Amino acid sequence: MRVAIVGIGMGPQHLTREAADALRESDYVLAARKSDQDGLLAVRHAIAAAHGLEVVEVADPPRDRRRGSHYGQAVAAWHAARVGAYEEVLRERGGKPAFLVWGDPSLYDSTIRVVDELSRRIPMQVEVLPGISAPQLLAARHRIVLHRVGEAVHLTTARRLREDIAAGQRNLCVLLNASMDLSALQDWSIWWGANLGTDSEELCSGRVGEVVAEIERARARAQQRAGWVLDLYLLRAPDEAP
């Protein structure tokens, strides 16, 4: 069995020629359905249809998001349930399936890990096709470089932001932004974006204390227009202006 893990950026306009070739060689797309109003799944359907592929939907197993639950254990259980759900489909259908991954498969996505586990159960050859990532789009939209000359950018999540700043990080690209808490960071600089590359895209930049309210309004607009919101931002300490 050949399995293609295809990075799709934020939709058809970001699909590389290499990714399109991989889809033409696939038999169907396997995708998790999070809800009946899953707008991101609709985009996967559009990409699949453009390449003559059926989308086989699998109900995404529930994830434990209770406060106090151990994050690592909750994610591991969720991934294991996904493996079981996908394995059932793959054994039944066989062929050459493809997984369509938002952004790039290497960055804050579980598909490679899930397929690695599947490969221990079902003989398969796995191909990974890179996609345009959200940090790339953020930098392009704001016309910035993510790091200063000769320095680093720290990729992290909103859940770990405070911990990483306390550890000394001064230039952070923050993803998986379920909620924003930028208190005590009013003098930092921020370059923020939501639903990048879509019709509901929103952008904002400036000093945190001056733009945080504007960001909250823009985030709400993106949510209202699309029915979902995926946002991220670059956060830089005040002594490291662009």
7-22 pLDDT per residue, tens: 999 989 999 999 999 9
- Specify the higher pLDDT residue, 67 or 219: 219
pLDDT value, residue 68: 53
> Measuring CA to CA, which residue among 13, 10, 6 is closest to residue 230?
10
Average pLDDT of the segment spanning 115-134 = 96
- Give the number of other CB atoms < 10 A from CB of residue 216: 12
Predicted TM-score of the model (pTM): 0.89
Can you tell me the mean pLDDT for 194-216? 96
Predicted confidence band of residue 144 (pLDDT cuts 50, 70, 90): very high
More confident residue, 4 or 40: 4
CA distances from 103 to 77, 100, 142, 182 (A): 24, 9, 18, 25
Q: How far is CA 60 from CA 11, 121, 137, 211, in A?
A: 21, 20, 27, 36
pLDDT band with cut points at 50, 70 and 90 for residue 66 = low
CA angle at residue 192 from 188 to 196, to 5 degrees? Answer: 165
Q: Rounded CA gap, 197 and 72, in Å?
A: 31
Q: What are phi and psi of 145, to 5 degrees?
A: -100, 135
Nearest to 45 by CA among 55, 35, 36, 37: 55
Q: Which residues contact 116 (CB under 8 A, 6 or more apart)?
A: 126
Please compute the mean of the pLDDT values over residues 51-69 and round it to a whole number: 80
When pLDDT is cut at 50, 70 and 90, the band that residue 242 belongs to is very low
All structural domains of the chain, each given as residue ranges with its CATH number in brackets, are: 2-129 (3.40.1010.10), 134-236 (3.30.950.10)
In the predicted model, what is the mean pLDDT of residues 33-55? 88
Q: Please answer whether residues 236 and 205 qualify as being in contact, where contact means their C-beta atoms are separated by less than 8 angstroms.
A: no
Q: Is the pLDDT of residue 119 over 50?
A: yes
Q: Please count the residues of the chain.
A: 242
Q: Is 127's pLDDT higher than 90?
A: yes
List the structure tokens of 53.
């592929």
The H-or-E segment that residue 59 falls in is: strand 54-59
